[in-house]
Amino acid sequence: MNSDMTAQYDPIQRVDRQHFPDKQSDALRSLLWRPLVDKAAIEDMGIPIDTTVFLTIGGGIGSFIWINNLMIYGARHAHVMSIGMEREPYGRYRRLCRQSQISDDNRLRSDSGSTPDNIWGYPGYAIREALRDGFSLRPKNTGKHLKQIFGEPILNQVYTPIAGNVYTSMAREAERIGWDSIHRLGRVHAVRKTTNGHYAVFYTLRTDDYFQERCAIAQYVHLAVGYPATRVLPELQRYMQLTGDTYRAVNAYEKHDHVYQQLAQNGGLVVVRGRGIVASRILQRLCEVRKENPDVHILHVHRRAVIDGACYNGKQRPVDSHMEIQPFNFPKSAWGGRYREQFMQADEDERGELLDTWGGTTTADRVDWQDILHTGKREGWYTVMFGRITDICPSDSKANEVYLQIALHTGNTAEVNASFLVDATGLDANWQRSPLLCDLVKTFNLPLNVKKRLTVNDSFEIEAMRLRRSRMYATGAMTMGSKFAPVDSFLGLQYAAQCSVQDLLDNKAPCIKPLTPFRSLAQWSRWLLGAKL
């Protein structure tokens, strides 16, 4: 692993290192120096070998959706395998949501038809929630959910599902397809091509008693590793490395419940940095704390003022409190409308421009969040400052506080002593932050797209990894810049899985068969009844 990566403070990778070793044995490293390995050489080293047809790396929601598709298309447990560092497919996603204050009772930024547990997308979450409320004798809520999906986004605020309902539905489907027998709790270190035309995936298996180096050999490999790291900006990185303090200055994606507990007891000033969906949720959580202790004040630091939102084809994104408002991370037609067709036909440079215009940092159009900011400004407990935090250090003048130096956009400098700093500047998609991706890109000299992510074709195949009849696919954040804009979304993961499975069918991959209308109806009925595969 690169020494720069080990030196950086990162909440995601810190958890990974706590649960899995990030180094390989000397014997394994000696085998991995070349891109092509021989199965006999692996056996001679005494490394246990698993053999499968389809293997997915990541073990998260992207992996779960791909495996679910394969099994509905006919694959059985003996044909599929998953390797990842969380037991549940939604485990990491749920942990990051909870730590960024999106609890199981809160709503996610996703629509009704984006259903990771259901490849058909029907019934969507809105209908399920309406039925659940109906059975619970809450007819008013039932009507509200149905009204939302039929009137959004013009007449009503868009419907978004409750996080806990999404996790519960995935848990149900995971049990139905036998995820526990498919998934291996492990950390993948490297992928190599084999002399007999397959892929060798080297990983560390974790059991209750020990760690073991193993190898899985598969004909078809799927890469769904998500974001490799958290974005920790240089001044916060320096502060954490020099002081070791993760109490006063925290990243939104690490556990920091103590911030809200201390503020509820003692009050104080908290500085928030970031203007995306997570920052919005942090602000909402702080507002909830203010109900317990009105002596809580918020300073929201933006690098620049945002007066006018992004404009495209004469349509301009609205702005509220210097945050651009958009229901989802992309316009909805980017998933399946005119924008999707336009994006697929665009060349690479144009795709890069469209991604910047349609995407970027936005937050959802939710009335409750906007009311918080308007009320806070009016009452004086919420203040906005435009500038860049240049230095963070322990406060000299006040104990138990953190000192921030802020270079204002006016050219002046502001000095702030705060009880806490909550940094919500997002996740880092840089492939160099992932030891696995770094090894893969450098070993096989993989091409990168306009967004410096993995280059994939229309079927989400990494063509540079093609070997005889074997194929490697990729999905999710690491493919941003491909011919589908919202790849980093539930529906984007579903779309990528269907494209890759269709490519497998076209190339006559074993163990799966076309999903004809009759078979599709039969499989959907089995899903509805919870019949095991």
Give the pLDDT confidence of 241-286 residue by residue, as tens digits: 889 898 999 999 999 999 999 999 999 999 999 988 999 999 999 9
What is the pLDDT at residue 8? Answer: 78
Q: Is the pLDDT of residue 161 over 90?
A: yes
Q: Is the pLDDT of residue 367 over 50?
A: yes
Banded pLDDT at 292 (limits 50, 70, 90):
very high
Contact 500, 368 (CB under 8 A): no
What is the pLDDT at residue 1? Answer: 37
What is the pLDDT at residue 400? Answer: 85
Q: Which residue has the higher pLDDT, 4 or 402?
A: 402
Contact 115, 168 (CB under 8 A): no
Banded pLDDT at 9 (limits 50, 70, 90):
confident
Considering 41-50, 312-321, 322-331, the range whose residues carry the highest mean pLDDT is: 41-50
DSSP string covering 448-515: B-TTSSB---TT-B-GGG-BTTBEEEE-GGGGTTSSSTT-SSHHHHHHHHHHHHHHHHHTT-TT----
Count the neighbouring beta carbons within 10 Å of the beta carbon of residue 404: 25
What is the pLDDT at residue 370? Answer: 77
Token digits of residue 140: 């008013």
Banded pLDDT at 2 (limits 50, 70, 90):
very low
Banded pLDDT at 6 (limits 50, 70, 90):
very low
State the Cα–Cα distance between residues 481 and 319, nearest whole angstrom: 26
What is the pLDDT at residue 364? Answer: 83
**What's the whole-model pTM score?**
0.93
Token digits of residue 306: 């945002």
CB-based burial of residue 294 (10 Å sphere; 0-12 exposed, 13-18 middle, 19+ buried)?
exposed
Residue 165 φ then ψ, to 5°: -65, -35
Residues 474-492 have a mean pLDDT of: 95
What is the pLDDT at residue 139? Answer: 67
Residues with Cβ < 8 Å from 52, sequence gap 6 or more?
A: 78, 79, 80, 81, 216, 217, 218
Residues with Cβ < 8 Å from 339, sequence gap 6 or more?
A: 330, 331, 333, 358, 485
Residues 11-19 have a mean pLDDT of: 85
Please, what is the average pLDDT of the chain? Answer: 91
Cis preceding-peptide flag for 35 (omega within 30 of 0): no
272: three-class secondary structure by DSSP: strand
Banded pLDDT at 140 (limits 50, 70, 90):
low
Terminal C-alpha separation, the chain: 40
Considering 15-24, 150-159, 396-405, the range whose residues carry the highest mean pLDDT is: 396-405
State the Cα–Cα distance between residues 174 and 102, nearest whole angstrom: 23
Q: Dihedral of CA 21/22/27/31: which sign? A: positive
27 to 44, 213, 307: CA distances (angstroms): 11, 11, 58
Q: Summarize pLDDT for 165-187 with one digit per residue, the tens.
A: 999 999 999 999 999 999 999 99
Parallel, antiparallel, or unpaired: how do β-strands 211-223 and 49-58 relate?
parallel
Percent of the chain with pLDDT over 90: 72
Q: Is the pLDDT of residue 20 over 70?
A: yes
Banded pLDDT at 225 (limits 50, 70, 90):
very high
Q: Summarize pLDDT for 56-91 with one digit per residue, the tens.
A: 999 999 999 999 999 999 999 999 999 999 999 999
Q: Which residue has the higher pLDDT, 215 or 1?
A: 215
326 to 303, 366, 516: CA distances (angstroms): 20, 10, 37
C-alpha radius of gyration, the chain, whole number: 24
Residues with Cβ < 8 Å from 376, sequence gap 6 or more?
A: 287, 298, 382
Percent of the chain with pLDDT over 70: 96
Range list of H helices, 102-250: 125-135, 139-151, 163-177, 179-182, 234-243
